[in-house]
Amino acid sequence: MKLGKKLAILAIVGTTSLFASGVSDVSQLVYKINNTADVKIRAELLKKLDTTLTNIDKKELPAAQEIVSNKLQLAKVLER
């Protein structure tokens, strides 16, 4: 019984940290995109960002979209 409770707690903590990393991953990807000069790397990062936004928890999606709309410098992406 004690083992089952411990496993349940670990599963909850693991899931919580997994969802928490979604928004921080988006923020890190946006930062990397804004600070990368190489067009190929930027394209790869944009694909990763798209995949991350597709797979993010629906509760965190508005916060992630706000980060993208406020911090991603599209003019900088399109210039290079």
DSSP string, the chain: -HHHHHHHHHHHHHHHHHHHHHHHHHHHHHHHHHT---HHHHHHHHHHHHHHHHHS-TTTHHHHHHHHHHH--HHHHHH-
Q: What is the CA radius of gyration of the chain?
A: 16
Percent of the residues in the chain that have a pLDDT greater than 90, as a whole number:
25
Q: Kindly report, residue by residue over 26-50, the tens digit of the pLDDT.
A: 899 999 999 988 889 989 999 999 9
Question: Quick one: tokens of 19?
Answer: 């969802």
> Which of 80 and 21 is assigned the larger pLDDT?
21
Mean pLDDT of the chain: 80
The pTM (predicted TM-score) of the whole model is 0.67
Q: Is the pLDDT score of 61 beyond 70?
A: yes
User: What's the pLDDT score for residue 56?
Assistant: 87
8 A C-beta contact, residue 80 and residue 36:
no
